[in-house]
Structure 1
Amino acid sequence: MYGELTAAPKRTNGHIRFTSNVLRSLGIANDLACFVFAYLLAVAAYDLTIGYYYDARLHRTGAIILCINYFLIRMSRGGYSGFKGQGEDVGGSSLADFLLAAALTSLVILQLQMMPEFSRGIGLYFIGFSMTAIFLSRIVFRKFIWALMDKGVVGQRVAIYAESPKAAEKVASLLELERLPHLKIIGFSDDRRRTQGKEISLPYLGGFEALLQLARAGSLDQVILALPSIQQERLDHIAEALSAASIDLCVLPRETMELKPGYRIGFLGGLPVFAIWQQPIRDIDGVMKELLDRSLALLAVIVFAPLLVLTSLAIRLESRGPVLFRQKRFGFNNNEISVLKFRSMYTDRQDASGAARTQKNDPRITRVGRLIRRTSIDELPQLFNVLRGDMSLVGPRPHATMMRVGDKYYFDAVKGYTARHRVKPGITGLAQVRGLRGEIATTERALKRVEYDIYYIENWSPLLDVRILIETVLKLAWDRNAY
């Protein structure tokens, strides 16, 4: 089917080629060189500026311990495994790891009661020079790696064996999103391609026989099989034929090409799985968010107690009916919750289902209601929702169960809408501080709001919550979209 194997021709490589795995070793060597250089420079600077006697052997031992701590921390966090030449880490995480290693080393020295014998001058010089060297070397290291990649010393020449030109182009676009400059796609191969058809950016290498010849000639380092509907027998045959050449062979699963870009590959024991969704805020993160919510909500209730009382009196004096308005909305895990608000509408005109959208100059809204909606005071009773665990301070805003966008319900109009309920709803959220507050009359705005909600869920951190709370105070107090 694929032709008979012939004697392998002589390799055409003019030099030794390395894969990106060598960057890990180069990264470690780079940091080690930074520490040696920093220590020598610290000793020289100390001798020139201070010049007091110090125990050289003791200080060398301290520097070695600090370096060992640093490398252990970096390796445990995968600090070197991510080197692909992108240059995203210009020292930020490395500097944080170094400071942690320095703190641990100081604790060891204190525990051994040896701090009086150490020179603070050399220590400060060493830490300062090391951090400077780590930061600057990242820039030089990145340029060095790019030069090696340009010369072909580091990198892999990749061919895509796909079931169609369209599939090959899809794989190429996915690889481009990953930003892996060490991969050089030389083209694609497709046995079923009979005519030129629609032009794509990738060069056509020919059928499988041509691909095999390139591999055995040493003009190829890796083949990616993008054959979603391939039969096991055919896959075995392709793997056996390509085993005659010294190349990497990998299969791109169908899920990689068809699932959303945000999936992750995880392991259940030793079994690889595609993690499409994961619990977004779990373990210690969940405890931290609960503590932040409950403590800040309790503090806010105490601070705003006079305002809560005055608002209640104003509502009661202006119109008949209860002070609070309760509405069923979607909460955590898509379960219904009863959300509290100060009543801002006349009792006989309000809509508990949420089907009727609030509009500008809505006649259902009272004079007090217009003021408290404009200033977001009507949302303050939701602090009690936070205290009883129904809501969070920050999260996707809870929507009424019958809320509509155009002529459709929200959950029918926006694909992936229910994914926003994987965390507790919030009094404020990322979408609200990005201008998507108030009436959502179009599907486009509804989709954008959900996109912000999903982004918040997948990128949550305590600092993000604090930032959104601050932006809420600064931007939403007199938001023109609130009515």
Structure 2
Amino acid sequence: MHGHVKPSPRRSSGHLRFTSNVLRTLGVVNDAACFLGAYLLAAGAYAASIGYYYDSRLHHSGAIILCINFLLIRISRDGYVAFRGQGKDVGGSAIADFVLAAALTGLVVVQLDMLDEFSRGLALYFMGFTIVLLFLSRIGFRMLVSRLMNEGLIGQRVAVYAESAKVAQRVSQLLELERLPHLRLAGYADERTRGERSEIDLAYLGDLDDLLELARTGRLDQVIMAVPRISQARLDQISETLSAASIDLCVLPRETLELTTSYRVNFLGSLPVFAIWQQPIRDIDGILKEMIDYTVAIIAIVLLAPLLILTALAIRLESKGPILFRQARFGFNNNEISVLKFRSMYVDRQDQSGAQRTQKNDPRVTRVGRFIRRTSIDELPQLFNVLKGEMSIVGPRPHATMMRVGDKYYFDAVSGYSARHRVKPGITGLAQVRGLRGEIDTAERARKRVEYDIYYIENWSPLLDIRIILETVFKVFWDKHAY
């Protein structure tokens, strides 16, 4: 096993060692010590620099209340989860929680009309020292924990009981990606033939009885079962066998090993469930996106009214037929919607179904149509689809119901295509500003467009919408794929 998951050294069962759960307690103690140290430093600095009298009991109480508020906020936000080793947070979230706790404590002080009784100087010293210590202590805390893990004082020695050697290798790779320095992967066990064991770089520990012996002699702390197709009777038998030793036993669900999409574990009360998909952009996010859509649509219609009128006149003067073109396309929840566009083709050559792709120098396209398609002016009537609540400013582009890629319909040609309909379609989208605007003539381009759509859905934010809108404005004039 290479990377962050290392083989476990042999240690006697009497060796003092803690699991990673102790880190949560140490984290709380660390932060409480930061508050105590900050208060002592603040009192000393205040005495040396300002020296005015202050009510020490009142300020002690204020510091304790602030500390309690901070700890409660951290605990409620799972701020003291076990150390994971990625090193992403060196104090940023803790400092944000401290600012929130300080604001709440300040509101209490104001409500009790006690603000005048507090020393501003001492309070500023205290807050400044606390922020510095919270930041520095996290760096030191990580160094200390890493040292304790390397010494074997904190950690868990893990074995994988797998369906096969390849499944054990898959678990090893998943653990390595998680970067869990407190885990020491001792190896794997199974009851299969030895034929494929030479193909992987994990130590073979034997069968179930061998795992039990390792646990009973204090050389193993946890067994991860990775047997996707195990029967309930066999699971009960393994559980009963390993229950003879003091050891953690957990089951890695089939979904963890086999799902290629992202998922998360949620709880319905105390019941754990795998959330394969979740409603995206909902609750407050959904309201915020609706507000952005309606606001941008109204402003755009007002500002672009002269352009809309001129385009309508140009279309009417060049060729006979309606100014607007309506086409049935897939919308939210895969429901059919009527999408508006400025007509860019001769009426007798239009394809209402969308089965026939528009190609470069397409004879069906009028001269005005070629220009408005090239500059995306033909899409502007979809602002009214936005006002009707059928579309969004930014989202996956709506496809014609009969649109094809090669000899297959789009929804048959690309795996996972239907997932893009979990949000409203957009006038522009992430795929369009990443070079996938215009004709989709290959299965590879179709697949990439869907990948961008899914990424957008799973990573939506107001800033991402604004970025896509700005990129659309800049790229629309020189996109070689639009015609």
Partner of 1:123: 123
More deviation, 188-197/276-285: 188-197
Provide the rounded CA distance (Å) in 1 between the counterparts of 2:474 and 2:95.
33
Provide the rounded CA distance (Å) in 1 between the counterparts of 2:190 and 2:27.
38
Partner of 1:260: 260
**5+ unaligned residues in a row in structure 1: which ranges?**
1-9
Give, in angstroms, the shift of residue 335 of structure 1.
0.8
Query: What pairs with 1:156-171 in structure 2 (closer than 5 Å)?
Result: 156-171=156-171
Query: What pairs with 1:227-246 in structure 2 (closer than 5 Å)?
Result: 227-246=227-246
Name the CA shift for 1:379/1:126 in 2 (closer, same or farther; >3 Å): farther
Name the CA shift for 1:430/1:125 in 2 (closer, same or farther; >3 Å): farther
Partner of 1:86: 86
Query: What pairs with 1:19-98 in structure 2 (closer than 5 Å)?
Result: 19-81=19-81, 83-98=83-98
Provide the rounded CA distance (Å) in 1 between the counterparts of 2:249 and 2:440.
50
What letter matches 2:187 in structure 1?
A: G
Q: Secondary structure at the match of 1:230?
A: coil
What letter matches 1:150 in structure 2?
A: N
Query: What pairs with 1:269-288 in structure 2 (closer than 5 Å)?
Result: 269-288=269-288
Name the CA shift for 1:134/1:376 in 2 (closer, same or farther; >3 Å): farther
More deviation, 206-215/153-162: 206-215
The yes-or-no answer on 1:205 pairing with 2:205 is yes
Query: Given the two structures, how large is their TM-score scaled by the length of structure 2?
Result: 0.92
Question: Residue deviations 1:133-173, cap 9 Å, x none?
Answer: 22333222222222222222221111111121111112222
Name the CA shift for 1:377/1:54 in 2 (closer, same or farther; >3 Å): farther
Query: What pairs with 1:377-392 in structure 2 (closer than 5 Å)?
Result: 377-392=377-392
More deviation, 472-481/387-396: 472-481
Q: Secondary structure at the match of 2:205?
A: strand
Give every structure 1 segment of 4 or more consecutive aligned residues whose post-TM-superposition deviation is greater than 4 Å: none
More deviation, 283-292/213-222: 283-292
Do the aligned partners of 2:326 and 2:340 also contact (CA within 8 Å) in 1? yes
Partner of 2:399: 399
Name the CA shift for 1:28/1:331 in 2 (closer, same or farther; >3 Å): same
Q: Secondary structure at the match of 2:266?
A: strand
Provide the rounded CA distance (Å) in 1 between the counterparts of 2:142 and 2:114.
39
Name the CA shift for 1:349/1:105 in 2 (closer, same or farther; >3 Å): same
Name the CA shift for 1:73/1:376 in 2 (closer, same or farther; >3 Å): same
Provide the rounded CA distance (Å) in 2 between the counterparts of 1:11 and 1:184.
13
The yes-or-no answer on 1:219 pairing with 2:193 is no
Give, in angstroms, the shift of residue 186 of structure 1.
1.2
Q: Secondary structure at the match of 2:272?
A: strand
Partner of 2:417: 417
Provide the rounded CA distance (Å) in 2 between the counterparts of 1:121 and 1:374.
64
Name the CA shift for 1:108/1:298 in 2 (closer, same or farther; >3 Å): same
Partner of 1:177: 177
Provide the rounded CA distance (Å) in 1 between the counterparts of 2:45 and 2:308.
63
Partner of 1:345: 345
Name the CA shift for 1:144/1:197 in 2 (closer, same or farther; >3 Å): closer
Give, in angstroms, the shift of residue 11 of structure 1.
7.2
The yes-or-no answer on 1:187 pairing with 2:191 is no
Give, in angstroms, the shift of residue 189 of structure 1.
0.6
What letter matches 2:402 in structure 1?
A: M
What letter matches 1:253 in structure 2?
A: P
Give, in angstroms, the shift of residue 197 of structure 1.
5.1
The yes-or-no answer on 1:322 pairing with 2:293 is no
Give, in angstroms, the shift of residue 20 of structure 1.
1.5
Provide the rounded CA distance (Å) in 2 between the counterparts of 1:471 and 1:54.
57
Partner of 2:295: 295
What letter matches 2:281 in structure 1?
A: I
Provide the rounded CA distance (Å) in 1 between the counterparts of 2:22 and 2:85.
11
Provide the rounded CA distance (Å) in 2 between the counterparts of 1:148 and 1:475.
53
Do the aligned partners of 2:160 and 2:226 also contact (CA within 8 Å) in 1? yes
Give, in angstroms, the shift of residue 102 of structure 1.
1.5
Provide the rounded CA distance (Å) in 2 between the counterparts of 1:476 and 1:121.
56
Give, in angstroms, the shift of residue 196 of structure 1.
5.1
Name the CA shift for 1:139/1:354 in 2 (closer, same or farther; >3 Å): farther
Name the CA shift for 1:302/1:128 in 2 (closer, same or farther; >3 Å): farther
Partner of 1:447: 447
What letter matches 2:447 in structure 1?
A: L
Do the aligned partners of 2:165 and 2:196 also contact (CA within 8 Å) in 1? no
Provide the rounded CA distance (Å) in 2 between the counterparts of 1:429 and 1:234.
50
More deviation, 399-408/170-179: 170-179
Do the aligned partners of 1:330 and 1:336 also contact (CA within 8 Å) in 2? yes
The yes-or-no answer on 1:139 pairing with 2:146 is no
What letter matches 2:310 in structure 1?
A: L
Aligned-residue RMSD, C-alpha: 2.1
Do the aligned partners of 1:86 and 1:181 also contact (CA within 8 Å) in 2? no
Partner of 2:101: 101
Q: Secondary structure at the match of 2:421?
A: helix
Name the CA shift for 1:362/1:126 in 2 (closer, same or farther; >3 Å): farther
Partner of 1:150: 150
Give, in angstroms, the shift of residue 242 of structure 1.
1.2
Q: Secondary structure at the match of 1:173?
A: helix
Question: Residue deviations 1:265-320, cap 9 Å, x none?
Answer: 22223322222111112222222222221222222222222222222222222222
How many residues are aligned here? Answer: 474
Give, in angstroms, the shift of residue 432 of structure 1.
1.9
Question: Residue deviations 1:189-211, cap 9 Å, x none?
Answer: 11122435551021111222222
Give, in angstroms, the shift of residue 15 of structure 1.
2.9
Question: Residue deviations 1:444-472, cap 9 Å, x none?
Answer: 22112111211221222223222322332
Q: Secondary structure at the match of 1:348?
A: helix
Provide the rounded CA distance (Å) in 1 between the counterparts of 2:356 and 2:198.
49
Identical counterparts, % of pairs: 72
Name the CA shift for 1:122/1:477 in 2 (closer, same or farther; >3 Å): farther
Partner of 2:4: none
